[in-house]
Amino acid sequence: MALPVLPISAAGAPRRGTTKRMDTFMTLLIDTVIPRTLDALEAELSASKPDQPVEAWVFEDAAARRAAEARLAAASVTARIRSAYKPLLCFFLEEVDRAALRQVTIRYPRHPQAHDRRFLAEAYPLAALLDGVALSFEAGEVALTYEVTLTAKDGTTATHSVFAPNRLRDGVLANCGWQRLLGEDGAALTTEFEALFAAAVETVRAQGWSDRIGAFDRLTVTVEMPGADQEIGWGDEVISFREAMHEDLFFTLREMLAPDAGLDRGARPGQIVPDIRATHGAARLRITGTMFAEADETASATIALETADRPLGMAQIRAALGALGGQRFSTLSREGREVAGLYKPGPGPAVLITAGQHANETSGVVGGLRAAQALMQDPESHFAYVPVENVDGYELHQRLIVQNPRHMHHAARFSALGDDLSPAMAEPDDERRARYEGIARSGAKLHINLHGYPAHEWTRPLSGYLPRGFEAWTMPKGFFLIVVHQKGWGEIAQALLAAVSARLAEDPALVAFNALRMDAMLAHTADSSFGVMNGIPVYLSEAATYTTPLTVITEAPDETIFGAAFVMQQTTQMRAALACVEAYLRLR
C-alpha cells in the first residue's frame, strides 16, 4: 500500500482504544544508496594494480572476502582482505591451524578511549575454541595490535601481530575499515557499514528531536547491507554484522533521542525499529517516521507447548490463557492491544507470575503458560498471572524474527512508547496496569518475573563495542536467577534462592550447559558480580523500589535460539516458576 507523505505530528501520550484508525501518516527522512566497499576496493585495485601486496579490513563475511581476493589474484593483484570486526577471532578461524596448537599467549591491546578489557572481550569466544590448548591472555600496551605467540605440538613457535583497526568516533574507540600496502601504516577506510550508521545518526540528529520526545510513533530505520551471518561453531555464537547494526542503531538513536535513557529507563522517545535486511549489492538506508494505525498481528501456527521450539504466536497465547479459566482481567497497551491476565483464588500464599516484560525474551512466555497450566490443576494454588506484559513489543518481535530469526532484536525489548516496563512505575497508565491488577486482586507478596537475555555475544562495534549500560550482559553465562527483596525479607529471599537453584540443578544437562558458558565468559571478562549456587549463577540484593516485597527474576539465554535449545530454556523457565511456588509455600 502506498502511504501519503505528510509531516509528523507531535504525539506520544498513551493512546488507548484507537486500534481502528485507517490513516497512517508517514514522513520519509532519507532514502540513499551507498556503494559496497568490497566492490569499490576491488575495482580500484584492479585498475591501479599496485606492485606491492595490499591488506584491507572490511565488514564482510569470510566467503565474500576470499572470493574478492581470488578475483584480484586473477587480475594480478595480491591482496589479503580481513575482518574489521573481531579481527583476532577471525585470525584464529581463518589463518591458524588450531588442531596443531599446544600453547597460545595473547597480549591484548588497551586504549584510553576504550573499556580496559574491550579487546579481551572482542576476542570472545576464543577461549572456548581453544579447548585443550594452554591459553593465556595478558594486558598489553596502548596500541591497536594483538601480539600472539603460537606454540605447536611439534614445539615450533611463531609470533604474529594481529592488527585491530579502530578509530575515534564521538569520543570512543570504534571498529573501522582500513587499507594499507604491506609493511606500511595505511589509513582508515570508510566502509559502507560505517557510512550507513553515520548517515542514520546524522539524519535523526538533524531533526532536532532530542528535546521533543514523541515526535513520531514509530521511527523505522530500514537498512539493506552485505555480509552474511557466520556460525562460529561453538554454542549459539555467530558473527553477524546485521545484528550488530540493529543493536548499535537502536541504542545509539535511543540515547540521542532520550539522553537520560541509560540511567532512566522511563524515558519515552517513541518506538525505534531497525529493520536490517541482507543484500549482495549496494547498501541502502531508508528512514521513515509513522503514526500507529491498526494494531495488527503476525499470524503463526499453533504448536504443542511441551515441545515448543520457538516463540509462540499471540493468537495461541490468547487461546491458551482463555482455556485456563480463573477470573479474567485485562487492560490495553499503547498501540491498543489487549493485555490479559487471570486470577485464581486459593488457600495458599499468593504469587504473581508474569512474562514478556521485555518482549524479545520469549522462553518465559512458554514456561509461564506451562507453569500456569500445572497450577490450575492444584486446588491449593493461589496466583495471578499475566502471560505477556509488553504485547506491542511482542508483536514487533514476531515481525522482526521473520527476517532475522536468530538476532536478539532489542528494539522489541521496550514498549511502544520506547521505555522499559519499569518495576519502579508507581502509577501505571497503560500495559503496566495488568501487573498491578494481578497484585491488587491476589495480594501477592512474591512476584515471579520470567526474563531472558542474549544467547550469544551482544556488541555495539560502532560505539565502543561493549553495550553501554549493559556491559554485564554481553556474554551468556547460562540460566541464572536474580532475587530482589525489600527490607525484612532477606532470610526468605536467601532460602528461596537455595531451594530453587537446588531444584534446577536436578537437571545435569542444565548444570553442564551453565558451566561451559561461565568458563568461556570468565576467560574474556573479569565479571565477579554474581555468586553460584548449585551450578546456577545467582544475584541477591535488597531494594525498596520493586512492587512486591519479594521478586524472583529468571534469566534464560533465550533471545536468539530455536529448536532443542529453546525447548531446554522454556522447560527450565517452567521448572523455575513451579520450584519457586513450591518453596514459597513451604517457607511462608
Residues of this chain that interact with Zn ion (CB under 5 A) are 358, 361, 451
Backbone phi, psi, residue 264, to 5°: -115, 105
Separation between Cα atoms, residue 410 and residue 135, nearest integer Å = 33
CA–CA distance, 396 with 140 (Å, rounded to integer): 43
CB of residue 361 to Zn ion, shortest distance in Å: 5
Strands 351-355 and 383-386: parallel
Least distance between Zn ion and beta carbon 270 (Å): 21
- Residue 33: how many other CB atoms lie within 10 Å: 13
To Zn ion, the closest distance from the beta carbon of 206 in angstroms equals: 33
Q: Which three cell numbers stand for residue 473?
A: 550482559
Q: Which lies closer to Zn ion via its Cβ, residue 266 or residue 349?
A: 266
Least Cβ distance, residue 500 to Zn ion (angstroms): 18
| Cα dist from 45 to 60, 79, 193, whole Å | 17, 9, 20
Query: Minimum Å distance from CB 511 to Zn ion?
Result: 23
247 is written with which cell numbers?
543493536
Nearer to Zn ion, 262 or 490 (CB): 262
Number of helices (H), then strands (E), in the chain:
14, 25
Copy the grid coordinates of residue 148: 600472539
What is the nearest approach in angstroms of Zn ion to the Cβ of residue 453? Answer: 7
Cβ proximity to Zn ion, 382 vs 451, nearer residue: 451
Q: What are the angstrom distances between the C-alpha of 176 and each of 283, 314, 343?
A: 17, 40, 53
Element (H or E) spanning 434, and its range?
helix 433-442
Q: What are the phi and psi torsion angles at 144 (to 5°)?
A: -125, 35
For cell 583497526, the residue is 165
Smallest gap from residue 357 Cβ to Zn ion (A): 6
In order, the DSSP letters of 464-513 are TBSPTT-GGGSS---SEEEEEE-TT-HHHHHHHHHHHHHHHTT-HHHHHH
Nearer to Zn ion, 291 or 312 (CB): 312
Q: Would strands 446-453 and 550-557 be described as parallel, antiparallel, or unpaired? A: parallel
Nearer to Zn ion, 361 or 395 (CB): 361
CA–CA dist 526, 118 (Å, integer): 11
Query: Which one, 393 or 438, has the nearer CB to Zn ion?
Result: 393
Task: Please report how close the Cβ of residue 351 comes to Zn ion at its closest, in angstroms.
Answer: 19
Q: Taking a C-beta distance cutoff of 8 angstroms, is the pair 135, 104 a contact?
A: yes
The residues, ordered by sequence, that sit 6+ positions from 378 with a Cβ below 8 Å of its Cβ are: 346
Cell of 74: 586473477
Complex with Zn ion: residue 437 or 555, whichever CB lies closer: 555
**Residue 520 CB, nearest approach to Zn ion (Å):** 22
Go through 372-399 and write b for each residue having 16 or more CB atoms within 10 A of its CB, e for each that does not. Answer: beebbeeeebbbbbbbbbbbbbbbbbbe
Nearer to Zn ion, 360 or 571 (CB): 360
Rounded Cα distance between 424 and 524, Å, is 33
Q: Distance between alpha carbon 107 and the CA centroid of its chain, in Å? A: 29
Contact 464, 118 (CB under 8 A): yes
Least distance to Zn ion, CB of residue 543, Å: 16
Q: Which of 68, 9, 80 is nearest to 40 (CA)?
A: 68
Nearer to Zn ion, 354 or 486 (CB): 354
Residue whose CB is less far from Zn ion, 173 or 359: 359
- Cβ 142 to Zn ion shortest distance, Å: 36
Nearer to Zn ion, 61 or 420 (CB): 420
74 Cβ partners below 8 Å, 6+ apart?
none
Q: Smallest gap, in angstroms, from Cβ of residue 62 to Zn ion?
A: 33
Cβ proximity to Zn ion: between 125 and 423 the closer is 423
